[in-house]
Amino acid sequence: MKKVLLIGAYFLCSTFAISQTVEDMVNAIEKEGIENSQLEQLAYELMDLNGPRLVGTPEMKSAHDWAVNTYKKWGISAENQQWGTWKGWQRGITHVDMVSPRVASLHATQLAWNPSTSSKGVTASLITLPSFTDSLSFVKWLPNVKGKIVMVSMLQPTGRPDENWEEYATKASFEKMKSERDSLEKIWRQNINNTGYTSRNINAAFEKAGAVGIAQSRWSEGFGANKIFSAGTEKIPAVDISLEDYGMLYRMVEHGADTKIKIVAESKDLGVVPTFNTIATIPGTEFPDEYVILSAHFDSWDGGTGATDNGTGTITMLEAARILKKVYPNPKRTILVGHWGSEEQGLNGSSSFVEDHPEIVAGVQALFNQDNGTGRVVRLSGQGFLHAYDYLGRWLEAVPETYKNEIETTFPGSPGRGGSDYASFVAAGAPAFSLSSLSWDYWNYTWHTNLDTYDKIVFDDVRNNAILTAILTYMACEDPEKTSREKAVLGINPRSGKQGEWPTPRTPQRKGGQD
Ligand SMILES: [Zn+2]
């Protein structure tokens, strides 16, 4: 009993001894983050002015240059490090109109990396898919697509999100809608299956059979939200059309109206271009070979401007670095900021960095990654590192309640296997963590959608996260101990029945979109 008390007293004293400096520093970080916040300006420059950051586009390169210049303005050294090459492409004007049986301009976007139409565009009738009993019946039908624009997505039975139904529908009609939709989806999947193709490679089959365009609608289950990914065609235009317009066209075709659309989708093929990570550093004074890494992928899809995926993670790390440079310019350990390229195609920038810089990976004290939207940080997992509780717990103790009171921690947790760039480092055994955000309807409304734009940013939450990140970084830099990398014994995988194994580093794709 006495011993415990004594130890307790010792801890109190030692905590008290360091607490004065820690408290001063935490106050200074908070003050700078609140009174001199640059988040709105950074978001404007990156999202509105620069625009989306699809790998291989000139806008991705200009964003990298912008980041380097922004750091230079703050007196932080930064550079663009090439890790590979990618198919070079630039989006141009997309204009899609219904021209028969009446005229209407449609809400539509060309899909990424899709080749250009001529400036006159392509005008053609639409065709929907009939039901196929097997691949033979598909092959027999396939010549029908010649000269047509093929509608490759299912007609949605409702354009209202489920929350809206839940609020206003009678219980019976909500249930009826859901069960009808379930069976439509099942039939649709089975029908695609019967063709012998998948939804991924069927567009290539239409193209080969002489279709002159592809029209899809990848609804994201929210008002006005569609997911915008890449085209699966080599030469013909592929566009995503809003649920509302797609549904109208689909019904017209099914009713036998002479439905024609005109697609003008101009873009530039820019050959093969180099692709980069932007790396910024504030050198450490005592342990320069040990690193606290601020991490957020820099690239995005380009249906919107990549505001919450991952503009918000990006400006969080920029702002945290700016604050630290101002109030903590001589960190004990080196602060490194990684703005990774091509996360969206499989963590390519960060896994290249891990492959190219084993000495840095060996010196990682901690990495903090943020990449799931604009919300306040509410989850933090130890990623399977046995002693993560000790050091993350120590660092979190210094964070004022307002910035951490919603954070649920899991220790030791299990190692991330993908999802975002921290996983590239975890796989290499480096203590890397995900600052995981509150959703703000991320998955339906902003993740990879046309609606991922500046107006969805919740700046108070991002400010919260920048201050939190800056404090954790300061604490990790100052910690007298290097963090432990000891791995927890992983549990039995319920699916395989086997002992869980630590993920292994992935091989990055360094030549993207090139045949
Ligand atoms: Zn992301």
Average pLDDT over residues 489-493: 89
Q: Where are the beta strands (DSSP E) in 283-343?
A: 287-297, 333-340
Q: How far is the CA of 344 from the centre of ligand 1 (A)?
A: 7
pLDDT of 492: 87
pLDDT of 462: 98
pLDDT of 514: 87
Using CA atoms in the order 231, 236, 242, 244, what is the torsion angle rounded to 10 degrees? -140
Predicted TM-score (pTM) of the model is 0.94
- pLDDT tens across 172-200, in order? 999 999 999 999 999 999 999 999 999 99
Average pLDDT over residues 333-357: 98
- pLDDT tens across 323-338, in order? 999 999 999 999 999 9
- Is the pLDDT at 393 greater than 90? The verdict is yes
Separation of alpha carbons 63 and 85, rounded Å: 17
Amino acid at 1: M
Separation of alpha carbons 373 and 88, rounded Å: 27
Q: How far is the CA of 420 from the centre of ligand 1 (A)?
A: 6
Which pair of tokens denotes residue 79? 């550079």
* Cis check: omega of the bond before 330, within 30 degrees of 0: no
Q: How far is the CA of 133 from the centre of ligand 1 (A)?
A: 39
DSSP SS3 for 152: coil
227: DSSP letter = B
Half-sphere exposure of 84 (CA within 13 A, CB side): 25
Rounded to 5°, angle at Cα 305 from 72 and 228: 140
Q: How far is the CA of 426 from the centre of ligand 1 (A)?
A: 17
Which residues are CB-neighbours of 159 under 8 A, at least 6 positions away? 219, 223, 243, 244, 247
- Are 291 and 365 a contacting pair, CB within 8 Å? yes
Q: How far is the CA of 369 from the centre of ligand 1 (A)?
A: 10
Q: How far is the CA of 340 from the centre of ligand 1 (A)?
A: 10
pLDDT of 5: 42
Q: pLDDT band for 3, please (50, 70, 90 cuts).
A: very low
- Are 425 and 350 a contacting pair, CB within 8 Å? yes
Q: How far is the CA of 462 from the centre of ligand 1 (A)?
A: 15
Q: How far is the CA of 301 from the centre of ligand 1 (A)?
A: 9
- Is the pLDDT at 12 greater than 60? The verdict is no
Q: Whose CA is closest to 458, among 43, 11, 129? A: 43
What is the rounded average pLDDT for all residues in the chain? 95
- pLDDT tens across 57-67, in order? 999 999 999 99
Q: How far is the CA of 487 from the centre of ligand 1 (A)?
A: 26
Q: How far is the CA of 141 from the centre of ligand 1 (A)?
A: 40
pLDDT of 18: 52
488: DSSP letter = P
Q: How far is the CA of 371 from the centre of ligand 1 (A)?
A: 5
Q: How far is the CA of 310 from the centre of ligand 1 (A)?
A: 5
Average pLDDT over residues 389-399: 97
Burial level of 343, CB count in 10 A (0-12/13-18/19+)?
A: buried
Q: How far is the CA of 57 from the centre of ligand 1 (A)?
A: 17
Q: How far is the CA of 419 from the centre of ligand 1 (A)?
A: 8
Q: How far is the CA of 173 from the centre of ligand 1 (A)?
A: 36
Q: How far is the CA of 307 from the centre of ligand 1 (A)?
A: 10
pLDDT of 372: 96
What percentage of residues in the chain have a pLDDT greater than 70? 96
Distance of CA 472 to the CA centre of its chain: 23
- pLDDT tens across 15-55, in order? 544 578 999 999 999 999 999 999 999 999 999 999 999 99
- pLDDT tens across 202-231, in order? 999 999 999 999 999 999 999 999 999 998
- Is the pLDDT at 14 greater than 80? The verdict is no
pLDDT of 172: 98
- Listed range (10-14, 375-379, 474-478) with the worst mean pLDDT: 10-14
- Is the pLDDT at 280 greater than 70? The verdict is yes
Which pair of tokens denotes residue 302? 């380009």
Q: How far is the CA of 373 from the centre of ligand 1 (A)?
A: 8
Q: How far is the CA of 295 from the centre of ligand 1 (A)?
A: 11
Q: How far is the CA of 300 from the centre of ligand 1 (A)?
A: 7
Amino acid at 129: L
Q: How far is the CA of 75 from the centre of ligand 1 (A)?
A: 28
Q: How far is the CA of 313 from the centre of ligand 1 (A)?
A: 8
- Is the pLDDT at 232 greater than 60? The verdict is yes
Q: How far is the CA of 311 from the centre of ligand 1 (A)?
A: 9
